[in-house]
Chains A and B, each alone.
Chain A
Amino acid sequence: MAGQRSIDDAPPAYFDAASAAPLHPAARDGLAAALADGWADPGKLYAQARRARQLLDAARAATAEALGIRPDELTFSASGTAAIHRAVDGLVRGRARIGPTVVHSTVEHSAVLNAVAAHVRAGGSAVPVEVDRAGRVDLDAFTTAVGGPGVAAAALMSANHEVGTAQPIAGAVEVCATAGVPLLVDAAQSVGRVPVPPGWAVLTASAHKWGGPPGVGLLAVRTGIRFAPTLIEGADPEPALPLVVAAAASLRAVLADAHAEAARLGPLIDRVRHVVAQTVPDVEVVGDPVDRLPNLVTFSCLYVDGEALLHALDRRGFAVSSGSSCTSSTLQPSHVLEAMGVLSHGNVRISLHRDTTEAQIDRFLAELPGIVATLRAEAGVVDL
């Protein structure tokens, strides 16, 4: 079978930027420079400390500028997940007098859903808002939910990490402004790639999604927002200074290229959507075909085992992700695919980045139909 052939003839292709993008050279340079020059404790009163403090301040200023906010509105967290937990906690505690309810879409990242679940376990409440077949939140239902009594906060992601569909952030901003409810935007998949509409109250992001180092989350809280996170000393430490410098340097670098990269990767994704649907029988390409992330596509192959498909692709040098239940530690299917009502088995997500080449996409599109056909033949489902 195809999967047992040698992959010597083709270099591997990493298509899982939505989990972690390969480290940008600017991040590597920034990390090395900060390790050489910013190793001192920035809180001390000598030349080495001042140099470290300058690096940290410059990194904060550059990152804040990239997000369109003031430096004092930005906090660095140990991860994107930590930033999200702090965001939800800070909003619900800051607005406890207004009410206990958090409104959120059903396709939020599990970090948001877990933070909301923790809030519910602590006595709060939550109103999930459904999405359509493309994974886009129902803005009318969102409006109704946000306008309900006792809403402390609303959470809506900028674009979905599993299917790429962009959410109507500009509309949600308006709705929340009218209702006087702060909007939390998890922008992990957008920051560094596509602009996020302004007007949110709180925004979170994660450096390793844009090519920065792992271990750096961003939490932006606009001035005037009631925000009172639980303060447990040491529970959410700031990342090490060199990591923050590397994150800032890489964000500046990816933003400089973001427009061109979106213009380069967008058509590659269009091609994958079109060609996969044409060449693989019984495949469902999901997510919004137009209003979406420029670098991500998801499809499901009927009657194919997702884990077997991932392994077969891996043997051919393709690193991809899947929302199929057999590939998850809990054996639960993706809550995103379920919320959309699309096939969850045989699912493949590919997410591209600055190192992705057209030749890699060509090879993927050339090999995928045979790989799927082989798996279907092995399972005896070809004529179903």
Chain B
Amino acid sequence: VTPTGNSSGTNNPSGTGDDAGSRAADQGQEPDEVLDCRGQRCPLPVIALARRMAEVPIGTVIRLLADDPAAPNDIAAWSRMRAQQYLGSPAPHILDIRRLT
């Protein structure tokens, strides 16, 4: 399996990034941006998230797309270790994380 994700890391999801600078959103969990790490094996999605998280403002919600079976567990564990907020997985291969610190 070769990585198929956007290796530069980020893009704006259509429909969420266009009309709001930082969307505080309906359920408080609407992502501000999407990081596509599908096709990447752990720890690569965790590394990509850590890199991007350092660049975004506090409060930003990043939606991570990752299909590695270890990703949900390891993203949740990383969030705990790094005192960020893991918001959960609204659907398979989708993980939402908010920058807290």
Interface string of B3-32 (1 = CB under 8 A from A): 000000000000000000000000000000
Interface string of A316-349 (1 = CB under 8 A from B): 0000000011100001110001100111111000
Chain A residues, CB < 8 A from B58: none
Q: Tell me whether B69 and A345 are in contact (CB under 8 A).
A: no
Neighbour of A343 across the interface among B47, B51, B77, CB < 8 A: B77
Q: Tell me whether A341 and B76 are in contact (CB under 8 A).
A: yes
Q: Which one of A167-175, A253-261, A298-306, A356-364 contacts B?
A: A298-306
**A284 CA to B68 CA, complexed, in Å:** 21
Chain A residues, CB < 8 A from B68: 325
CB distance from A377 to the nearest CB of B (A): 13
Chain B residues, CB < 8 A from A232: none
Chain A residues, CB < 8 A from B42: 324-326, 333, 344-345
Q: Tell me whether A303 and B70 are in contact (CB under 8 A).
A: no
Chain B residues, CB < 8 A from A304: 43
Chain B residues, CB < 8 A from A303: 43, 46-47, 50
* A364-378 interface (Cβ within 8 A of B): none
Q: Tell me whether A325 and B81 are in contact (CB under 8 A).
A: no
Given contact pairs A341-B77, A343-B74, A343-B78, A305 touches B69 in the complex (Cβ within 8 A): no
* B32-54 interface (Cβ within 8 A of A): 41-43, 46-47, 50-51, 54
Interface string of B72-86 (1 = CB under 8 A from A): 011011101100000
CB distance from A93 to the nearest CB of B (A): 34
A355 at the interface (CB under 8 A from B): no
- Chain B residue, CB-CB nearest to A301: B43
CB distance from A323 to the nearest CB of B (A): 10
Size bin of chain B's contact surface = 10 to 19
Q: Tell me whether A332 and B43 are in contact (CB under 8 A).
A: no
Q: Tell me whether A342 and B77 are in contact (CB under 8 A).
A: yes
Q: State the interface size on chain A (CB cutoff 8 A).
A: 23
A381 at the interface (CB under 8 A from B): yes
Chain B residues, CB < 8 A from A337: 73
CB distance from A306 to the nearest CB of B (A): 8
**A282 CA to B80 CA, complexed, in Å:** 12
- Chain B residue, CB-CB nearest to A384: B50
Binding site for A on B (CB under 8 A): 41-43, 46-47, 50-51, 54, 68-70, 73-74, 76-78, 80-81
29 A-B pairs with CB atoms under 8 Å apart are: A282-B81, A284-B77, A302-B46, A302-B81, A324-B42, A325-B41, A325-B68, A325-B69, A331-B41, A331-B69, A332-B69, A333-B42, A333-B74, A337-B73, A338-B73, A341-B73, A341-B76, A343-B74, A343-B81, A344-B42, A344-B70, A344-B73, A344-B74, A344-B77, A345-B42, A345-B43, A384-B47, A384-B50, A384-B51
Binding site for B on A (CB under 8 A): 282, 284, 302-305, 324-326, 331-333, 337-338, 341-346, 379, 381, 384
Q: A282-B81, A384-B51 are known; give 18 further A-B pairs, CB within 8 A.
A: A302-B46, A303-B43, A303-B47, A304-B43, A305-B43, A324-B42, A325-B41, A325-B68, A326-B42, A331-B41, A343-B73, A344-B70, A344-B73, A345-B42, A345-B46, A346-B43, A379-B47, A384-B47
